[in-house]
Structure 1
Amino acid sequence: MRISWITAVAILVSTQATAGLEQDLLSCSAKADKLDRLICYDQVAASVKSAPKVTSITSTSTAAATTAITATSVAPASQAQSVTAIPTTLPANIEDEFGKRNLKQTKEEAQKEITKIYMEIVSISKDAYGALKISFSNGQVWKQSDSRRYKVKEGQNVFIEKAALGSFILGTDERNSTIRVKRLK
C-alpha cells in the first residue's frame, strides 16, 4: 500500500513538473526577438539543471519511477537547446532563388523555356493497378498518374507537355485526349 502511494505521488509531481516546463518553453517560443528567446531557453535549461534531484527511496520500483521522472524532465530542455543550435542565416543565393519561379519572365526567357517535347516510345508496360509505364528512346521513363484509359503503341511518337501546378500530360497530335504522367527516370 505504501509503495503505491509513493508511486502515485511521484507521478503527480512529475506531471506537474513537466507541465511547468512545457509552460516555460511555450513562453520562450512566443518571444519575437531571437536573443530574448535564446536567453529564455538558457534560463529554462539552467533551472532544469539546478532543480533538486528526487531523493532515493529504498524500494526498487519507486527508484525506477524517479529515474523516469528525471529523464522526462531533462529531455525537453535538451531539445530546446538543440533548437537554438540551428543557423538562422541562409546563403544569399538560396534567398534569391526562393519564389523566383512565380515571377513574370522576360520574352527571351519565355522563348527559351521548353514546354513541350516529342519522343518515340520504345516499350510499354503496366503496373499492378493498370497504370502505364512508358520508356522512351532517349532513356526517360514516365508513368501514368491518373486512372484514365489511353492506348499507345511501341514506335509511336507522343508529346509530353507542361500542365498546371507542375504536372505533365502525355498525348498525341492525332487525338484530342491526354493523360497525366510523372517522370520516373
Structure 2
Amino acid sequence: MKVNITALFGLLCTIISTGVLANNNSILVEGLSHCMHVSNDQERLACFDKLSEKNLAPLSTTSVPEVKEVKEVVAAVENTELAEAKRIDDFAKETLKKPKEEIEGITATVSGLKKLIRGQWVIDLENGQRWQQTDTTILKLAVGDRINLEKGSFGSVYLFKEGLNRNIRVKRLK
C-alpha cells in the first residue's frame, strides 16, 4: 500500500509541475533564445539571472501549497490503513482469553486408604480431598505417606509417591 501512496504522490507532483511549466514554457523558451544570442559574457549572465528570477519564483510559490495538500491526502490514507490494520488485528481476538493462573500440582499427606475389589485405591488426604485410582498400576501406599498430585494431558491427574519414580492415574471424588 505504501508503494501505491508513493506512486500517487509522484504522479500528482508530475501533473502539478507539468501544468505550471506549460504556462511558463513559451516565455522561458523565448527568454533563453534571447539570452543565448547575447555576445558579452557579463550581459549574458545578467540576462539569464533576470530570466531565472522571473520564471523560477512563481514556480516555487505555486508548488508549495499543492504539495502540502498532497501530504494531507497521504496522511489521511495512512490513517485509514492503520485503522484497517487495527480492525484486522482485532478479528476474533475475544477468543484469545488469557488462561487463568492454575496450579500444576499439590503436595499432601495420605490420611486414609481403602482398596477396592479390583485392587484400585481410594485415597483420603489430610486436606479433605478424596481421590480414586483409575488405572491398574501397582503402587504401595500407607497412611502418612507424602504424595504429589500433578496434572497431565487431557485433564488427567497423576499421583506420585515421594521417593518413588512411579505414578498412578487418579480422579477426584470429593
TM-score where L is the length of structure 1: 0.41
User: Which has a greater percent of helix?
Assistant: 2
TM-score where L is the length of structure 2: 0.43
